Amino acid sequence: MIMPKDTTKTAVLYRMVMPEHTCPFGLKSKDLLERKGYAVEDHHLKTEDETEAFKREHDVKTTPQTFIDGKRIGGHDDLRIFLGIDPPKEEQSDTTYRPVIAIFSVCALLALGLAWHQYGTILTWQSFQWFISLSMTVLAIQKLQDVEQFSTMFLNYDLLAKRWVPYGKIYPYGEALAGILMTAGVLTWISAPVALFIGTIGAVSVFKAVYIDKRGLKCACVGGNSNVPLGFISLTENLMMIVMGLWMGLRALGG
């Protein structure tokens, strides 16, 4: 009788599991392997000495480490590449639009939810205004997490900040103030000019840096740790502030 061939895929994983620390990347590697159909031979490195000895033995700098068919795959990032989840490192980009896509998407849904709650419908001018004002506020929060780092990145391209450095630290507070007031629909005489001012300077600065000077910079729009490339998305943030400032200013003047 011919026995069926065992087709179970097996991976050997070494990861830190200590009384006061369990490596999160080890847990992620184990979960990833299991979801991809591997039976995991899970080896715990229970002490610092044991971990350091393992690193010396295999000439690696970090754990976890995964082995498949006797071959060392590497750490969690290497494992994702091996399993085809991420592209090879030489094909990976150091920039991403994910942060701004997440912010704009959530703010759009929040605006639609508020419109539904207030008016029983989602397609209103108010929902569009809320989308812009909420986006401004959330983007300001990202910058306010580390104003110093934001202002440093901002100096790479903003024309006013280059002439008057403190503007880089004032900007996120102005954006937050305008966004909050516009969401509440109060003190338009403050929010509209602020949004129009910072939006216009920002739009001119981004346009010059990207489309005239052709500089490949990262945008500070979602904070100083941003990997978002300076370009159309950055310009959109500023154009939204210009539109909102003009719209609410004209509405206020019209009574």
Mean pLDDT of 60-66: 95
Between residues 217 and 129, which one has the greater pLDDT? Answer: 129
CB neighbour burial string for 66-86, b if at least 16 within 10 angstroms, e if fewer: bbbeeeebbbbebbbbbbeee
Distance, in Å, from the CA atom of 190 to the CA atom of 223, rounded to the nearest integer, reads 24
The structural domain count of the chain equals: 2
Is residue 54 very low, low, confident or very high in pLDDT (cuts 50, 70, 90)? very high
In a shared domain, residues 87 and 102: no
Beta bridge partners, 15, equal 44
Residue 216 falls inside a structural domain: yes
Q: Is the pLDDT of residue 167 over 90?
A: yes
Distance, in Å, from the CA atom of 234 to the CA atom of 73, rounded to the nearest integer, reads 38
pLDDT for 216 equals 82
pLDDT for 1 equals 45
Report which of 127, 94, 95, 109 is spatially closest to residue 221, judged by C-alpha positions.
95
Residue 2 falls inside a structural domain: no
pLDDT for 160 equals 95
In a shared domain, residues 76 and 132: no
Residue 4 falls inside a structural domain: no
Least confident residue range of 67-81, 86-100, 151-165, 240-254 = 86-100
In a shared domain, residues 134 and 226: yes
Predicted structure pTM score: 0.80
pLDDT exceeding 70 applies to what percent of the chain?
95
Q: Of 71, 91, 111, which one is at a domain's C-terminal end?
A: 91
Report which of 94, 77, 100 is spatially closest to residue 28, judged by C-alpha positions.
77
Which domain does 128 fall in, by range?
98-253
In a shared domain, residues 26 and 127: no
Alpha helices for the chain (secondary structure H) = 24-35, 48-58, 76-82, 98-119, 125-144, 147-154, 159-163, 167-184, 188-207, 232-253
Q: Of 47, 62, 91, which one is at a domain's C-terminal end?
A: 91
Mean pLDDT of 115-129: 90
Residue 3 falls inside a structural domain: no
SS3 label, residue 197:
helix
pLDDT for 171 equals 95
In a shared domain, residues 71 and 179: no
Q: How confident is the model over 186-226, as pLDDT tens digits?
A: 999 999 999 999 999 999 999 999 899 988 888 888 877 77
